[in-house]
Amino acid sequence: MKTVDYIVVGCGLASISFCEVLRANNKTFVVFDDNSQKSSIVAAGLYNPVILKRFSEVWKSQEQLNLALPVYENIESKLETKLDFKISILRRFSSIEEQNLWFTASDKSNLEPFLSAVIVQNSYTYVDAPFNFGEVLHAGRLDTEQLIMSYKAHLKRNNQLLQKHFDYDELSISPQQLSHGDITANQIVFAEGFGVKKNPFFKHIALNGTKGEVLTIKAPELRLDAAIKSSVFIIPIGNDEYKVGATYDWVDKTNTPSVEAREELITKLKTFITCDFEIIDHRAGIRPTTKDRRPLVGRHSQYNNLYVLNGLGTRGVMIGPYVARKLYDYIETGQELDREIDIKRFENL
């Protein structure tokens, strides 16, 4: 029989963030993961404090960045692998009017730290950008696939990873302790992404799920040193390769890449990239999204030692460490959750 403080189910961005909080507080834990959820691996990994469609601030962006970046720096040091790549994000302007909207936004006190007031001239031979770019500051890319792969290997070396499906029927619950197979624990946190829809304890939480698809292309002539946001994102990842994404499908809930999404991404990319490119990968995953675009965090209504950490949506790299810290403080110190992330906000549904 193995006894730990926590069982964590899932090993994506939410789970890894929570495990790091547990580790920092000397809590013991094991992680169950069956590789069924793909959204964290498929994710392009940009952390971006600005909503570039309408030039507005991301919810709690500065607070999230202040928590997230040191977490990833610590993981890099521990795993001895590069994960965080500091790159600029350039917003391609489609008109003079958009330039003016950018200048107006950059004057706002909450956006001034993140939006450069200097127009970046287009120096890329194979990018069509007659109105040039606005630059987002304090942005970057986290290699989420490398993070998850390396983190799982680290957990496995420390006998903390169980690479199998978590059987809910095997969970025995009492007010003082939980048990699952030969493991006993004080608390369990379900960080399963869209997989929570199969969880009998939390399957009714207000999680929608949005399918996103991303291409990886090779374009030796392109030579971008920044991510560009236009009708789609294109993000340099090294070796003349780029991530291109992403699509949004609110109907299809499979991880199977589609021809329609591939064609959509290619068509949009060709509106501003003029060189040839080769598609070398195409992936899909279901983002754990919510109707109010806020995370789903909290305790089960009946069982006081069952918790959920979910709903990170499209910005899991930034939000993960923030909500992980909030959940830990809620469990261990009784600090109340903000209503805007607490699952209780949907209890009437």
The Cα 105–Cα 115 span in angstroms is 8
Could you tell me what percent of the chain has a pLDDT over 70?
A: 99
How does strand 161-162 pair with strand 29-32?
Answer: parallel
> In the prediction, which pLDDT does 157 show?
97
The Cα 185–Cα 305 span in angstroms is 9
pLDDT of residue 37 exceeding 90: no
What is the signed CA dihedral for 57, 192, 140, 121, rounded to 10 degrees?
A: -60
**Residue pLDDT, tens place only, 6-36:** 999 999 999 999 999 999 999 999 999 998 8
| Strand ranges, E, within 111-209 | 133-136, 140-142, 161-162, 171-173, 178-180, 183-190
pLDDT of residue 116 exceeding 90: yes
> In the prediction, which pLDDT does 349 show?
54
> In the prediction, which pLDDT does 1 show?
78
> In the prediction, which pLDDT does 176 show?
86
**Residue pLDDT, tens place only, 161-190:** 999 999 999 999 998 899 999 999 999 999
Phi first, then psi: give them for residue 174, nearest 5 degrees.
-135, 165
The Cα 216–Cα 218 span in angstroms is 7
pLDDT of residue 139 exceeding 60: yes
Domain ranges, ordered by start, for the chain? 2-43+145-206+291-346, 88-137+210-287
The Cα 27–Cα 223 span in angstroms is 46
Q: How far apart are the first and last CA of the chain?
A: 40
| Strand ranges, E, within the chain | 2-9, 29-32, 46-47, 50-51, 56-57, 84-85, 89-92, 133-136, 140-142, 161-162, 171-173, 178-180, 183-190, 210-218, 227-229, 233-238, 241-245, 278-287, 296-299, 306-310
User: If you average pLDDT over residues 285-292, what whole number do you get?
Assistant: 92
> In the prediction, which pLDDT does 279 show?
98
> In the prediction, which pLDDT does 43 show?
80
| Residue 140, strand partner residues | 47
Superfamily of domain 2-43+145-206+291-346: FAD/NAD(P)-binding domain (3.50.50.60)
The residue whose two tokens read 């805007």 is 340
Split at pLDDT 50, 70, 90, the class of 329 is very high
User: If you average pLDDT over residues 260-281, what whole number do you get?
Assistant: 98
> In the prediction, which pLDDT does 44 show?
82
| Residue 9, strand partner residues | 32, 190
Mean pLDDT of the chain: 95
132 in the Ramachandran plot: left (φ > 0), alpha (ψ -120 to 50) or beta?
left
Nearest to 133 by CA among 17, 52, 28: 52
Tokens of 150: 């390396």
Alpha-carbon Rg of the chain, whole angstroms? Answer: 21
Under 8 Å between Cβ of 81 and 146? yes
Could you tell me what percent of the chain has a pLDDT over 90?
A: 92
The Cα 300–Cα 127 span in angstroms is 50
> In the prediction, which pLDDT does 282 show?
97
Phi first, then psi: give them for residue 300, nearest 5 degrees.
-60, 145
pLDDT of residue 348 exceeding 70: no
Tokens of 306: 């069952």
CA angle 322/28/47 to nearest 5° reads 25
CATH class of this structure's domain 88-137+210-287: alpha beta
Nearest to 146 by CA among 196, 81, 65: 81
